[in-house]
Amino acid sequence: MGDDLDITYRSFALEQVNSKNGPEWKAWEQGPDYESRGLWALRGGIASQMQGWDAHDKWMLELQHFKFVERGDIRDRQPVVDAAERAGLDLERFVADLDSPDRLAEIGRDHEEAIEQGIFGTPTFIFEDGTAAFLKTFTPPEDESLPAFENMVAMARSRPYFGELKRPQPPWPQGVEA
């Protein structure tokens, strides 16, 4: 899609939404001993953005490859740092930005803003006109990736009367590689 596609990533803490600790508990306010399922990755996303969107995109590809292709565990800090190194980011700057407590505050602000907009999961796409859509999917074959994305955008952005599309489970996702 080239220059016609502009994606701005924002933080959304799924562990906050799925928490059974009550509404006052906030994942981003837990101490250093708290083992998060995703806060390091969210912090890394913000830290990589601070080096520009191209740097962020490279970092994101590295982290997603590690998580979804290599089936790596991203709950810890090190895989997030390793992805920055593989992406060619300024590592010293990345680590300083990653470890700043400001990242947790930013995650909290992003998350709370998303909740106010009715967002409940990821990925949720918000378009220029304010329409939004959540899409649960598996990775399509490479030759179908762009057409699948274009179809989703067309349906979500120009047809706001589609409220929900779900496949019966089972059988979905039989025959689909996660």
DSSP output for 24-80: T--GGGS-TT---SSHHHHHHHHHHHTT-HHHHHHHHHHHHIIIIIS----SSHHHH
pTM of the model: 0.87
> In this predicted model, what pLDDT tens digit does every residue of 132-160 receive, in sequence order?
899 888 878 899 999 999 999 888 888 88
CB 120 within 8 A of CB 160: no
Helices 91-99/102-116 angle, 10° precision:
60
Task: Output the pLDDT for position 1.
Answer: 66
User: Of all helices (H) and strands (E), which one includes residue 133?
Assistant: strand 132-134
